[in-house]
Chain A
Amino acid sequence: MGTLGKAIYTVGFWIRETGQALDRLGCRLQGNYYFQEQLSRHRTLMNVFDKAPIVDKDAFVAPSASVIGDVQVGRSSSIWKMKLRMFVWYSVSSMQQMLFGILIINCTSCLKDGTFLQSISIMAFENTSDVPNTADVWKQLCGDVNSISIGSGTNIQDNSLVHVAKSNLSGKVLPMIIGSNVTVGHSAVLHGCTVEDEAFVGMGATLLDGVYVEKHAMVAAGALVRQNTRIPCGEVWGGNPAKFLRKLTEEEMTFISQSALNYTNLAQVHAAENAKSFDEIELETMLRKKFARRDEEYDSMLGVVRETPPELILPDNIIPDKAPKAA
């Protein structure tokens, strides 16, 4: 975006701010103060100026995940939820310091009956401009300084962070490239590195800048891979700092692609669940209560035959043999 684009963006911001102020004035005149209700402004996909994420329509991004800036997500990839995140936004308002403690307990926490809560929609803030520009808050997170590209069929699991830095020790700002059919375990931190196709990053692993994970390589859980390390094909590295442990077996290599496929299927199920409207979720909750599984013996004693209504049957393509073959 050039200077003219930024100027238009800024003027648009002013106009919108004024519009919101007029709207709030109207609400005050009508005596309804719903606009003061503070809700999370979390957005799953967010742009920083013109750097908007490009997500393939077949990819699943959990509603509580944040994809910000120059990020590309390929076909049938999945980005899993962030469980709970707390923000405290400080802002200096006229004369006094105001504290906005915003607890974001975001959606997609799996409810008891297996349904998913929809993402909370965002309402107008009373003090929109008191909350610092969301773009500023997020500036350090994700693809704002460099690009992140994620291939197809990849899964980035819950609580992971994929990030590129503005500055690092070596002074190079590297883009983040994740290939296709990669499995990135829970709470992994990937920082300005390259992960090739069908690699595996274990849970809680940390990959620092300039790490290169080759095809079919594996980073063990909890490993810390130091800067500019290259993990060759078919090897497992683990520990802090990560060292070569052993070679991967053929079986494990096939498991990596199988794992990616499993997650792709699971993501489809989650995406379908997340796309449900509030009414559908309510209906299913009601049905689940009604058709809650009783003791079979008890049922047979009574002579009751219970059938599961079709709404409650989850698609079974999670199970590997039943999964449709990936093209």
Chain B
Amino acid sequence: MKNYDIKKRKTLAENIKLFEIEAPLIAKNAKPGNFVILRIDDHGERIPVTITDSDVENGTITIVVQEVGKTTKKLGMLNEGDKILDVVGPLGRETEIKNYGTVVCIGGGVGIALIYPEIKAFKKAGNYVISIVGSRTKDLMIFEEEISKMSDEFYITTDDGTKGRKGFVSDVLKELIDDGKKIDIVMAVGPIIMMKVVADVTRPYGIKTIVSLNPIMIDGTGMCGGCRVQVGGNTMFACVDGPDFDAHQVDFDNLIARNKRFLEEEKVSLEGLKNG
């Protein structure tokens, strides 16, 4: 089944690229919340990437990747027609989609693309969908059109105020709550610190909040516990028990620390790529 051809490649913003990859079995079974593990070449590492969209008819899945280290940079250098050596999925539990009433979906940075499948699914399930998306600056804003089309209310924030309102996604969420907006569930995908802040905002109000966690993974099938996270005092494997968890139960500080495990090695690796 070595047919992981890159069918389409598109630059969405600086260092953020979209790929459509031929993987018919994955496309057929992918649900919102699922991810794949990919390995670019023989010497490559395995990295987890969220499935942003899938096209059963064409047998493709869509992923959106931000270039942050060696592997994502190497991926970014691949072109249409190139192949990825290994793509396995769909992995992880799917997001629990049903008609909750009013859903607030929050995406930060590349997380804006990653929460798109949930936004679509929540809308389809009959929810009133409020989307709040945030990026550092206007040039990094992605998936604006797609998300606005699927949302009943749509808010954009940028850290520097170059697009939408100046500030953070959590500021908008707080305002909605303060305005007395009835919110049944909040889902947030993005940098850990953003998800942590969202959890802190909703906690005093008892609003159910789901986050999609992004720990370091190796196999992605529950075999090694490299992705373990502390949730409600228990150890969970994000790849099989998640990646979605109740935000109010997650130990974010432990996750932040664990994701820094290989910081030095990641730098060495990236330097190696730059120096050819």
Please determine whether chains A and B interact with each other in the same assembly.
no
Binding site for B on A (CB under 8 A): none
Binding site for A on B (CB under 8 A): none
